[in-house]
Amino acid sequence: MARLPRYFIPGCPQHIILRGNNRQAIFAAEADLRFWRDCVVEAAARFGLAIHAYVWMTNHVHLLASPGDAQSLPKTLQSAGRRYVQY
């Protein structure tokens, strides 16, 4: 069964949480954090996601962001995630 579409209100801030599997670390070094940040910032600019605040922890990430359209958030996270996994 397919996942239901994400609820979307244009410009409404959303709290986004990304976690490592089984609370495993997703950032092993400071360079990993910087690369992830760069991936997210570039993708957010490209897809129209306004990031207001963020917290990078070793095993999870919090973002407060407002999507410009219904695809801004998923496209940003998909793009950043794909780049980070290859890294």
Per-residue pLDDT of 28-73, as tens digits, reads 999 999 999 999 999 999 999 999 999 999 899 999 999 999 999 9
Q: Residue 6 pLDDT more than 80?
A: no
Q: Interhelix angle for 30-47 vs 72-86, to 10°?
A: 150
Report, as an integer, the average pLDDT of 3-11: 80
- pLDDT for 46: 97
Q: Residue 1 pLDDT more than 80?
A: no
Cα of 21 vs its chain's centroid, Å? 16
Which pTM does this prediction carry?
Answer: 0.86
Backbone angles phi, psi at 58, to 5 degrees: -65, -30
